[in-house]
Amino acid sequence: MPYKDKAKRVAASLNWNNRHPERIRQAALNHYYRVRNEIIALFGGACTSCGFDSELELHHKDENGKAHRKEIKTREIYRWLKRHLDQKDKFELLCTYCHGEQHGRCRAGGNHNERRKQSPLYE
């Protein structure tokens, strides 16, 4: 190890981090997307309502999402869920359109409704 003294080692690490912020940011983004993709795969990789496999989001089934997001940081939801897999049944995977419908924010229209009819989950 180049620095046996902990204070020098920490200082050198901080110096490197300050000189390479773009590499730190890229590593953090890579980690976020890797964990997010693991969680999405764990939930089946498709919207539970319509079967879409893109633009996926986690939905709190018990409607306490706002309080839960305050408790943990919003972007930390995937890391939190990876550590608390016993809480998996409190969430469902929805596409952006179905998630918006669930909360009454928007009505899915046009192309989404056509693709929904082609889904094996369509009733």
Q: Model confidence at 104, in pLDDT bands (50, 70, 90)? A: confident
Distance set, CA 59 to CA 12, 24, 28, 49, 62 (Å): 42, 29, 24, 11, 9
pTM of the model: 0.70
Domain ranges of the chain: 6-118
Q: What is the pLDDT of residues 42-83, one digit of tens each?
A: 999 999 988 888 889 888 888 777 788 778 877 788 899 899
Assess whether pLDDT exceeds 90 at residue 35. yes
Helix or strand or coil: residue 123?
A: coil
Please tell me the distance from the alpha carbon of residue 51 to that of residue 120, in angstroms, as a whole number: 7
Nearest Cα neighbor of 74 from 82, 83, 65 is 65
